[in-house]
Structure 1
């Protein structure tokens, strides 16, 4: 028998039962989302705030456009204190600019914000990554693009808590799977939208029927913005992830009340390899007898 509760845990807002209240006492304004999960043509990301937690974003790149705010995670070498501060230093290695450009291409009217957690040569620490992601979740961005992961298992519990906090706070974390078959985080958590790459030329996404990675986006030999206002061709799950993040922004721009699990379902329904089954449902109340077949 489960423990019966009647309220909330102080400081956590955790409601685990309803006593003396009914449906009219807990109304929820909802949004069904786009038919078939596919964003409408006029849905361009307008009004949706997307945060790129990465190496920064080149602020004047023509394929990125305006960056609404730019931040950097700083660790004091003496005290060890970690803070998030405004910056105008842009990108340190090109990776974040590439991700921001893909988001802009997919959802041209969204707001792009940047938090730099990587230094030159893609260097970074789990502690700095944690601080940047935590800050992004606290700011309640609509979508957080995280084309990064850590293999350090000691960060997994806190990352898991952050991912759940974002999920329940309607901040959607779109996280890149590692490029090699190793354990890393947070893409392994069900509360995030995890992304790998496919080799199709078309800009479309696929659902993976054999998770843990749930979706595949275009990320192999793709053209992306890079430092110095130029473009390069590159491959990696990192570049499939912002495509899916951009799709999320487009859906949310037309349906801002959608929850994180509704958004994941919209991606599932609109995946190019998901097709409606014409067979009758065998759900409860709609059974079928195949014994004579």
Structure 2
């Protein structure tokens, strides 16, 4: 039998039937959580490499910003430079596909060829938290432990001010942050064909698995590619979070995480573990 720790970064070589979970309360269904919701009125910020504004799979971008670092320090300014490497556009397209009527914003913290630094990432995330976005999609992390405590404090601030940080686990089993913090909602990928399947991970630190393997995403120049990674599972969950918050705007981040957990396809109320996995729609 596979060790539970093998579930930490992604769900590979196992199926939803291998990770049944008994819910400890009344059943919360996907229909209750996000059914009929399109994310209208919820502000989602993609902290990444920028977003190609006119991409047909992304649609309107309500605001684009960039973190600049020079001899004068680090600051955040409005920008019209778009995306420099495609990663942010891919994530934004998945958010848009999942929550088509959300308000979408971009903060660029990556440069060309996916270059970046921990202090720029921290500055971009801090700015997004200060703006009190409802959902922040962070398909990035840093392995630099010197940023850990600042990131932890910032994640806690977001948590208590009702900003849900949806953070991607690293694609390999290494220590990185902020997805390891319990105050964020962490995401890895599964290999199932269902493009709307949400699974809860009974062996954290990664809390959820979402579709992120061999998925079609928007890319630079109005193109699309097929790609794989926890980065692309994360915006699916960010979009679901937007739909939940549009339908239930009173929820705190704690309650949002609980609703996502109870609505996950492998979680059963009572003793229903023998049932087949229900669809996530």
TM norm. shorter chain > 0.5: yes
State whether residues 39 and 242 of structure 2, in contact with CA within 8 Å, keep that contact through their aligned partners in structure 1: yes
How far the C-alpha of 1:204 sits from its partner, in A, is 1.1
In structure 1, the gaps of 5 or more residues are 1-33, 280-293
Give the Cα–Cα distance (whole angstroms) in 2 for the partners of residues 147 and 273 of structure 1: 24
Residue 201 of structure 1: how far off its partner (Å): 1.0
* 1:37–1:268 Cα contact (<8 Å) kept: no
Answer 1 or 2: which has greater helix percent: 2
* Correspondence 1:274 to 2:267: yes
1:74 paired to 2:102? no
- CA distance in structure 1 between the aligned counterparts of 2:197 and 2:162, rounded to whole angstroms: 24
Matched, 1:178 2:170: yes
Alignment of 1:1-293 (within 5 A): 35-36=28-29, 38=31, 39-76=33-70, 78-79=71-72, 81-202=73-194, 203-278=196-271
Distance 1:46 1:195 in 2: 23
Q: How far off is 1:173 after superposition?
A: 0.1
For the pair shown, the structure with the greater C-alpha radius of gyration is 1
* Contact 1:37–1:265 (CA under 8 A) maintained in structure 2: no
> Which 5+ residue runs of structure 2 have no aligned equivalent?
1-26, 273-281
Higher relative contact order (CA 8 A, sep 6+): 2
- SS of equivalent to 2:268: coil
Q: CA deviation at 1:40?
A: 3.9
SS of structure 1 residue aligned to 2:170 = coil
Distance in 1, matches of 2:265 and 2:255, equals 18
Task: Give the Cα–Cα distance (whole angstroms) in 2 for the partners of residues 85 and 134 of structure 1.
Answer: 13
User: Which aligned segments of 4 or more residues in structure 1 are displaced greater than 4 angstroms?
Assistant: none
Deviation of 1:35 (Å): 4.1
SS at match of 1:256: coil
Q: If the length of structure 2 is used for normalisation, what is the TM-score?
A: 0.85
**Residue 288 of structure 1 corresponds to which residue in structure 2?**
none
In structure 1, distance between residues paired with 2:74 and 2:213: 35
**Aligned-CA RMSD value:** 1.2
CA contact (8 A) 2:213 2:227 kept: yes
Aligned length: 244
> In the aligned structure 2, how far is the partner of 1:173 from the partner of 1:41?
22
Instruction: Please say if residues 149 and 176 of structure 1, whose CA atoms lie closer than 8 Å, have aligned partners that are also in contact.
Output: yes
1:262, distance to aligned residue in structure 2 (A): 0.5
**TM-score with structure 1 setting the length:** 0.82
In structure 1, what is the Cα distance between the partners aligned to 2:30 and 2:184?
18
State the 1:36 CA deviation: 2.9
8 Å contact 1:48–1:253 — kept in the other structure? yes
